[in-house]
Amino acid sequence: MKTLAPITVSPKAKAVARTAHAPTTPPASIASGPTARLRLHAKERQALLEHFATLVDSGIQVAPALAGMRVEAADERHVAVLAQLEQGVVAGMPLSTAMGTMPRSFPPLLVQMVRAGEATGQLGDMLRRTVDSLEIEAALRARLRSALLYPIIMLTMTVGVVVFLLTCIVPRFESMLRGKVLPTPTRLLLAGGELLRGHGHWLAIGAAVLASAAVWYCRTPRGRITLDALLLHLPGVSGLYRTGVLARCTRTLGLLLQAGVPVHQALEHTREVAGSHAFRMLWQRAQHNVVNGGSVLDAVRGRDLCGPGFEQLVAAGEATATLDKVLQKVAAQQTKDLERRIKDLLTVLEPMLVLAMAAIVGFVALAIMMPIFRMSRGG
């Protein structure tokens, strides 16, 4: 089915294509300056973009808007970033090119969105959409961090309680119980305490080395592929991970298509922000299909990576030339599904962690009390 023509030959798309292929290399004095190493955090970048979008929507030109924001900025890094943007715009650069000189402050996807807004004459509207997308991403990350915070606290408390019992409580009973016939739980507890007291530092060093090695491996190309495959197939985690990646990808792709970015370029940027090797391969195949006269549907047909129903939605979007709107609806639905999955995971995980901690503490208490009860009975 080859129905992508309405998207790729629209006036917006032609304008963006001309802008994308226009010379946008900044002068060496700017691109290699110290501000190229400046970095804005996600919240800082979001706040600056929202303020800038408000000024542009009010009819203020780009250079005066940047100058006003620079005067009002209190943080030295913000002042430096805004001054760099203002210098580039005054020198005749497009805003997107000036942003491209600071990749640590403005990622490539954001630069592409700004370039699309400049080409279509809708810079303020495009910035507003980008800010909304950043807010959704930030809210999802915050919810995920909150979901992981409780299990981490419970796990830390459990390990702390066990270490305290084995190193401080158990030794006080060990001399009293030495030479006695002890039940199996007590013997296991004493052996664990002796191991921890005698070799605890080596165990800690070994755990730290293993954790560092695992982190290093996951940062290598092969490690990222392995981790991605594990997360996509691990029970209880795969659905959460898959939904989060799909929500980010469809939101990005839909936003770029709404801005008039050609499909093949939109797919390229979507591939870059996927964060998953399997999804990057999916969008790469889709880009290859589109460049060679095919469609996005050809890449997702018969694949379960995006879940059932996604193929039908893409087919409907391409058939009606509304793929951008369909993808935005898919992103909204996937975002709600992700929030529900996080809530369900917490609902199951919290009581399980409480029960696990109670079982561990109960085992230690039972192992200590059993021989005491036996001795009190004269055993």
- Give 306-328 as a DSSP string: T-TTHHHHHHHHHHTT-HHHHHH
CB 89 within 8 A of CB 114: no
Query: What whole-number distance in Å separates Cα of residue 362 and Cα of residue 345?
Result: 25
Query: What whole-number distance in Å separates Cα of residue 240 and Cα of residue 343?
Result: 11
CB 117 within 8 A of CB 127: yes
Angle at 49 between CA 47 and CA 52, to 5 degrees: 110
Q: Which pLDDT does position 21 carry in this prediction?
A: 40
CB 261 within 8 A of CB 13: yes
Give the residue, 21 or 378, on which the prediction is more confident: 378
Give residue limits of the domains in the chain: 5-107, 136-379
Question: What tokens appear for 186 in the block?
Answer: 């007590």
For residue 181, the tally of other CB atoms under 10 A from its CB is: 10
Q: Which pLDDT does position 28 carry in this prediction?
A: 43
Asked if pLDDT for residue 3 goes beyond 50, the answer is no
**DSSP structure class, residue 169:** I
pTM of the model: 0.71
Write the CB contacts of 219 (distance below 8 Å, at least 6 apart in sequence). none
Mean pLDDT score of the chain: 79
List, for residues 267-310, the tens digit of each pLDDT value: 888 888 788 899 999 999 988 988 888 888 888 887 778 877 88
Q: Which pLDDT does position 10 carry in this prediction?
A: 44
Query: What whole-number distance in Å separates Cα of residue 1 and Cα of residue 294?
Result: 7
Average pLDDT for 308-331: 86
Asked if pLDDT for residue 9 goes beyond 60, the answer is no
For residue 362, the tally of other CB atoms under 10 A from its CB is: 11
Asked if pLDDT for residue 16 goes beyond 60, the answer is no
Considering only CA atoms, which of 273, 286, 268 is closest in space to residue 331?
273
Question: What tokens appear for 49 in the block?
Answer: 């973009």
Q: Which pLDDT does position 320 carry in this prediction?
A: 87
Confidence of residue 209 (pLDDT cuts 50, 70, 90): very high
Query: What whole-number distance in Å separates Cα of residue 370 and Cα of residue 3?
Result: 76
Average pLDDT for 206-225: 90
Average pLDDT for 134-148: 78
Query: What whole-number distance in Å separates Cα of residue 123 and Cα of residue 102?
Result: 19
Q: Which pLDDT does position 4 carry in this prediction?
A: 40
Q: Half-sphere exposure of residue 58, counting CA atoms within 13 Å on the CB side?
A: 9
Confidence of residue 23 (pLDDT cuts 50, 70, 90): very low
Question: What tokens appear for 196 in the block?
Answer: 């921890």
Asked if pLDDT for residue 232 goes beyond 80, the answer is yes
**DSSP structure class, residue 26:** P
Asked if pLDDT for residue 351 goes beyond 90, the answer is no
Query: What whole-number distance in Å separates Cα of residue 100 and Cα of residue 118?
Result: 14
Confidence of residue 126 (pLDDT cuts 50, 70, 90): confident
Q: Which pLDDT does position 210 carry in this prediction?
A: 93
Q: Which fold has domain 136-379?
A: Receptor-associated Protein (1.20.81)
Q: Which pLDDT does position 31 carry in this prediction?
A: 44
Average pLDDT for 182-196: 80
Tell me how long the chain is. Answer: 379
